[in-house]
Amino acid sequence: MTSLRARLLAAASAVLAAFFVLTAAVLDGAFRDSTLQAQRDKLEGLVYSLLAAARTDANGNLTVEPNDISDRRLVQPASGLQAALFDEQARLVWTSAEFLEVPPPQMPGVGQWAFHQLRKPPVFSLSYGLRWIDLQDDPKRYTFVVLEDASSYERQLRTYRRELWLWLAAAAGGLLLVQYLVLRWGLAPVRRLVNELNAVERGERAEIHGSYPDELVSLTQGLNAMIRSERNQQTRYRNALGDLAHSLKTPLAVLFGMSEEPRVPEELRNPLREQVGHMQQITDYQLRKAATAGRRTLAEPIAPAPIAAKITQALTKVYADRGVKFELIAPPQFRMRADNGDLFELFGNLLDNACKYGGGRIRVRISRDDQDNVIEVDDDGPGFPQDAQELLQRGVRADTQNPGQGIGLAAVYEIVKAYEGRILLDRSEWGGGRVTVRLPI
């Protein structure tokens, strides 16, 4: 389970279910024991009443006078209550109105009781052992057995169990609902924190400002410190790189000016100019590469369409002699999480290459699928060669006729790598080149 609330709810539900099952088992056992004890006490009282009605007949055997029996169910047929008297050889010497065919009764010791619940037929059986001394002082061993139909007990037990589980299920449902509400209330600060982080990612707020419980205060402070540190570090990088570029500009300009001095031999001027220009290109490339911000989770989303529009307007003027025409396709209100300078660098290189090597018709399409932000630049030029992926290496060019150092696509590739994205060089529907850049959402 990836949801913290689901994990807590599942764990608490399992504990609650185990508690209710254990509670039901304990209550069921207690009810059954108490009911059986009440049944036994009732049958014991019946045996005592039979003892009070016991007499010796003319043969000296023990019997029970029907008129002296206190519970009249014993003399009524199909009453569900029967009694019998057995001698020491387990022979039946007296019985009530009817007696069920049951296994031979146990012969408990004198003064001992034996209580059982028989399944077939469903009856309660209580036996009591006694010794009877007649007038001739001749002790004889007897056993009283009382049977009572257990159907009413089983119906009562089923009714109790049904109501018990019904009430326990209702209580469990109520407690689960309360538990869910308590968990929802307890995790509300976490949801609020997630919403604030999403707002920071969308650029709707700069930091986390909400009031949170003590357990989350350290986390929110750490997140705010990380956000501030990331932004300050990016600012320091940009400032340091700007200072470096400014510092290198003057020495390179001096070196280039020295190459124009008349006293410099002619055979040294061209190599000196070439090396100074090469140093300038390398410096620019490495500065752009180091300045790339890359993918940042908490970066403010920006709209790429206005950036692309500004670059197309500028390039339209630069390549006015070639009659370059741009077509920009982008959904309204489209935003993506990227650095403003990185997007300027990316669009600038892609569109400048399309102007240089295309036939004058360029289309820029910005879209989004399930996983990536997609930028496509199509032109109507000659297209890319078969080994097009080599163009992503610095210094490799497809056209050596136009000026340049071959670092445009390489710079784009470095930006795309910094955003953990992908770049694909393909053929457009016009037969020219197509560059597809996919940046993770």
Looking at residue 97, the DSSP 8-state letter turns out to be S
Domains annotated on the chain, with CATH: 4-156 (3.30.450), 300-440 (3.30.565.10)
- 30-69 pLDDT tens trace: 999 999 999 999 999 999 998 888 888 777 788 888 788 8
Cα separation of 211 and 131, whole Å?
86
pLDDT at 288: 62
Cα separation of 316 and 360, whole Å?
10
Question: What angle (nearest 5°) sits at the alpha carbon of residue 34, between those of residues 28 and 37?
Answer: 140
What is the three-class DSSP state of 378?
strand
pLDDT at 137: 64
Position 401 confidence tier, pLDDT thresholds 50, 70, 90: very low
Position 100 confidence tier, pLDDT thresholds 50, 70, 90: low
Using alpha carbons, select from 31, 30, 37, 28 the residue that is nearest to residue 115: 37
Q: Is the pLDDT confidence value at 326 over 90?
A: yes
**CA of 366: how far to CAs of 10, 327, 427, in Å?**
44, 11, 17
Q: Is the pLDDT confidence value at 400 over 50?
A: no
- Average per-residue pLDDT for the chain: 82
When pLDDT is averaged across residues 117-135 and rounded to a whole number, the result is: 84
- 149-206 pLDDT tens trace: 888 889 999 999 999 999 999 999 999 899 889 988 988 888 889 888 888 877 677 7
Whose tokens are 């290496």? That residue is 393
pLDDT at 122: 85
pLDDT at 174: 92
* Residue 422 main-chain phi, psi, to 5 deg: -135, 150
What is the three-class DSSP state of 419?
coil
Looking at residue 321, the DSSP 8-state letter turns out to be G
When pLDDT is averaged across residues 382-390 and rounded to a whole number, the result is: 76
- Against a cut of 0.75, is the pTM above it? no
Using alpha carbons, select from 30, 42, 96 the residue that is nearest to residue 69: 96
Cα separation of 219 and 133, whole Å?
91
Cα separation of 35 and 39, whole Å?
6
When pLDDT is averaged across residues 62-87 and rounded to a whole number, the result is: 83
Which residue has better confidence, 232 or 296? 232
Q: Is the pLDDT confidence value at 378 over 90?
A: yes
Whose tokens are 């399992």? That residue is 14
Position 389 confidence tier, pLDDT thresholds 50, 70, 90: low
Gyration radius from the chain CA atoms = 49
- 238-263 pLDDT tens trace: 667 767 766 777 777 777 777 777 77
Strands 325-329 and 361-368 turn out to be parallel
Paired residues of 240 in beta bridges:
none
Q: Are the beta carbons of 31 and 160 closer than 8 angstroms?
A: yes
What is the three-class DSSP state of 89?
coil
How many CB atoms are located within 10 Å of the residue 280 CB? 17
pLDDT at 403: 41
- 419-434 pLDDT tens trace: 889 999 989 988 899 9
pLDDT at 404: 41
pLDDT at 210: 81
Position 337 confidence tier, pLDDT thresholds 50, 70, 90: confident
Q: Are the beta carbons of 356 and 317 closer than 8 angstroms?
A: no
Q: Is the pLDDT confidence value at 397 over 70?
A: no
Q: How much of the chain, in percent, has pLDDT values that exceed 90?
A: 27
pLDDT at 396: 43
